[in-house]
Amino acid sequence: MTESEDPSGGLVAKQSAGDNAAPLSVSEISALLKRTVEDRFGFVRLRGELSGVKRAASGHLYCSLKDEKAVIDGVMWRGSAQRLAFMPEDGLEIIASGKLTTYPGRSKYQIVIEHMEIAGEGALLALLEKNRTRLAGEGLFDQERKRALPFLPRAIGVVTSPTGAVVRDILHRLDDRFPTHVLVWPVLVQGEGAAGQIAAAVRGFSALGEGGAVPRPDLVIVARGGGSIEDLWAFNEEEVVRAIAESTIPVISAVGHETDTTLADHAADMRAPTPTAAAEIAVPVREDLLAQLDELAIRKRRCAMRPVSLGRERLEARVQRLPRPEAILAPWVQRLDELSERLRRGLADRTGAEREKLQAVSSGLSLPLLRNRIANGGERLARAGLAPLLLERRVAQARDRFAALDRVMPQFDPDNVLARGYVRVTDGTGRTLPDRKLAARESSLVLKFRDGDLPVAAGSVPKRKAAKKPPTPKPPTPRQGDLF
């Protein structure tokens, strides 16, 4: 056998006679494998533990499923990942539904996940406890963050399903206790997208401004009826818990029945066992408030009247201890009677005495005597010589003296010299002060000019400078006498 006929070796691949198996390319065999795997495993359900969970910027979810002996890669496209009812995490045991396929770029096979569920209630509870521990470590459930609820909210926001019995129970209970303005934000309370709608509703109420077209609520109630842990899972989602914790409005969580507990209950400011109980917590009973107001009004009236009653009692007690008015006034009445009697007797005695004096005087006023006195007076008047001419002369003399005084008086008027530049200094009463000593005693002075008065303070009058004395002439030097 020659070298060219040896089928086990050679430098150049040769096709043998009758051989119809053409060599396949890598892409061809990869495509055949992909088609074979997808046809054979078009729908599978795998149970395993999540590992390496990563969400890409495009929205696709990449992960691995593993058990004790094997690992398989998984991918979940963005459309399916958005419909997840929970947040996938490492270590969570799930059941993934989808199809197997291959990834030719790396010669690996993987599962394209279309639906993902938590593997049993135990795994769900484990995830719940894990999330609770993690969020509690961040302080979202601390009691210090809890806020007091308003006593009487003007508006209440309710986040719940608009078609369930929960919203009707809340509205009916609020109407019975205290009718209040209620704003209902309709959301899904379970299933895909429920958590996002609930979180958006809570944040939407917080974003409302004061005085807007839609009133900002003073209190928010997040409510849902009872159900299984799967039905209530939307209220365990992290985005709902964070939205409630970040709310600027106090929140009451009323999810499920009294035995149901969700992470939203821990994050809320107040947990209500039922939605109806949430309405009872939110507002007081109007009739009770009115009764309390009436009672307070009665107590206020009693408090206001109590001092009056006590004062009346004290006054009555003091009045009983006081003597009767007649007893107090009796001495003065007796004194008045005595003085009245003395006055009557005194007036009678005085009148009698004056009557006697008048009779004594009137006895000397006889008509002849009066006529005689008048005649004597006429004679004395005639002898006085009071002629009219004499009276006229005396009056004329007096008039001449007065005319002379009237001519002389203006010359002695001190104000006449003011027109020539002089000033008259007076005190506050108008008294002329001729001396500097008198002026220094006054606190204020009045300078009278020809055109008016000028009030000045005594200290402001400039002091007159002493006139300089003329130099004393020196005695003449004695001259020597003439010798000749």
- The rounded distance, in Å, linking the Cα atoms of 222 and 202 is 8
Tell me which of 46-60, 170-184, 333-347, 456-470 is least confident. 456-470
Which residues are within 8 A (CB) of 361 and not within 5 positions of it... i.e. 6 or more apart?
none
Biggest alpha carbon–alpha carbon distance for the chain: 220
Q: How many CA atoms lie within 13 A of 23 on its CB side?
A: 6
What angle, 0 to 180 degrees and rounded to 10, lies between the N-to-C axes of helices 120-137 and 238-246?
30
Is the CA virtual torsion 239, 265, 262, 156 positive or negative?
A: negative
Average pLDDT over residues 465-481: 53
Residues belonging to the chain: 484
pLDDT tens for 176-235 read 999 889 999 999 998 878 889 999 999 999 999 888 888 999 999 999 988 877 788 889
Tell me which of 210-214, 324-328, 473-477 is least confident. 473-477
pLDDT greater at residue 294 or residue 433 = 294
Average pLDDT over residues 245-267: 89
Provide the CA 257 distance to its chain's centre, in angstroms.
40
% of residues, the chain, pLDDT over 90 = 19
Q: With a cut of 50, say whether residue 391 has pLDDT above it.
A: yes
Ranges 54-63, 104-113, 435-444, 462-471, most confident: 54-63
Instruction: Report yes or no on whether pTM surpasses 0.85.
Output: no
Listed residue (216, 233, 232, 213) closest to 224, CA to CA: 232
Beta 155-160 vs 108-118: how paired, if at all? unpaired
pLDDT tens for 66-94 read 888 888 888 998 888 888 777 788 777 88
At residue 198, the 3 state secondary structure works out as helix
| 209 secondary structure, DSSP code | P
- The rounded distance, in Å, linking the Cα atoms of 97 and 108 is 19
Backbone region of residue 229 per phi and psi (left: phi > 0; alpha: psi in -120 to 50; beta: other values): alpha
Q: How confident is the model at residue 398 (pLDDT cuts 50, 70, 90)?
A: confident
Q: How confident is the model at residue 1 (pLDDT cuts 50, 70, 90)?
A: very low
How much is the mean pLDDT over the chain? 82
Q: With a cut of 80, say whether residue 247 has pLDDT above it.
A: yes
CB 454 within 8 A of CB 423: no
